[in-house]
Homo-oligomer: A and B are copies of this chain.
Amino acid sequence: MEEMFAERIINVPRSFIREILKVSLDPAIISFAGGLPNRDYFPVEEIQAATQGVFCDNGRDILQYSNSEGLLALREYIAARYLAKKGLVVSPEDILITNGSQQGLDLLGKVLINTGDAVVIEEPGYLGAIQSLSIFRPTFLPVPLSDEGMEVDSLREVSAGKGVKFLYAVPNFQNPSGITYSNSNRLQVAEVAADEGFLLVEDDPYGELRFSGADQQSFYSLLPKQTILLGSFSKIVAPGFRLGWIVASGKIREKLLVAKQAADLHTSGFAQHILNRYLQDNDIDRHIARIITAYGGQCQAMVDSIARHLPGDISWTRPEGGMFLWGRLPGEMSSMKLFDLAVQEKVVFVPGDPFYTTTTEVPTLRLNFSCADGETIERGVRRLARALAKM
């Protein structure tokens, strides 16, 4: 039976996180495993009003087929926001609306990766990217992360002369580690990209969710001609729309558009019109400020609970934004084993394994803090302490 399938799909696993989410359907379980934005902060009433608005103004248009590039007004909004928030000059022409930024990864893989092509990824890296790009059978070159960003000596070494197609990075509040690349690290990474002539794919779903520290420079400002940006409305408005985007110019943009047409003709015009109306009619910065206050408080609660209840020999990252904390158990302890014990104590997290392409039985783990209040976080961390005590 396996012989029926294309080689590209045979070894791609189901999403580990999606399997874990099934465990956490048990309401008695406290889950730090998810990667979901907090539903309490979805602007439901405002989106409902926006929906009414577009039905009144152009009900038939939003239900018809539309163009593959995406709604121009929405692309103009994204371009204006890049300029206002980050000083980046991006043309609406170079923005392609996608089904979440996840689809941007699929399109990039399709357009750029031949079997065996070298792709640099972070270790640990975003598993949705690992899964998505795996389909196109690259050779992954993992580069370890430190608290400052990518380990540049290692990057230089593994990428030298390999004809790397691109480097994939989540430089702000990285998933899973929560770390942020410093400006000097970004400069060094961009230097390697310039020297070796590979593209930088900068995925930034969490960048606007900063609760401390200062914004760092986008790769796009350092190396605009070699940087592709991925963005998403999932974490700042709502993921149910499945709306994200990809910024690329010239021939790459052209090929991405062909791949998009082939993939699904275009992203839902219905969703695009409604989101665009919501963005026009509301102060998104005020909305984002509310999310930041909430997540910042929850992150602090988790840091505090960890300090109170967990052994000091576990090291943790200190995120300045985003949704995740990353821990490292001492020595050779396996977080997968801890996971089994944690399920018994009715708390779950994501063991580090799926975030690596070359090793298993790692001692790391990811905790999500965006979906639980301080009191739940405290109870969950206590349960985790009990599981650890049994190790």
Binding site for B on A (CB under 8 A): 1, 4-9, 12-15, 18, 36-37, 39-40, 42, 44, 47-48, 51-52, 55, 59-68, 98-100, 102-103, 106, 110-114, 117, 128, 131-132, 134-136, 165, 234, 238-242, 251-252, 255, 257-259, 261-271
Contacts and interface: CB of A to CB of B under 8 A. Distances in A.
A61 to B, nearest CB: 8
Given A4-B112, A5-B112, A264-B99, A42 B60 contact: yes
Given A55-B48, A271-B268, A6 B136 contact: yes
A239 B9 contact: no
Contacts of A14: 257-258, 261
Nearest to A237: B63
A114 B7 contact: yes
Given A100-B264, A238-B270, 11 more contacts: A5-B112, A5-B255, A6-B136, A8-B114, A9-B255, A51-B51, A65-B239, A99-B264, A100-B265, A263-B263, A271-B271
Given A6-B112, A9-B111, A51-B55, A262 B106 contact: yes
A275 to B, nearest CB: 10
B65 A258 contact: no
A269 B251 contact: no
Contact of A12 (B6, B55, B258, B269): B258
23 contacts: A6-B117, A9-B258, A9-B259, A13-B258, A14-B258, A14-B261, A15-B68, A15-B261, A39-B63, A42-B60, A42-B64, A44-B63, A47-B55, A65-B234, A99-B267, A99-B268, A102-B263, A102-B265, A131-B262, A135-B259, A241-B268, A242-B264, A242-B266
Copies in the complex: 2
A42 B270 CA distance: 13
A248 to B, nearest CB: 12
A197 B13 CA distance: 27
Contacts of A8: 110, 114
Nearest to A51: B51
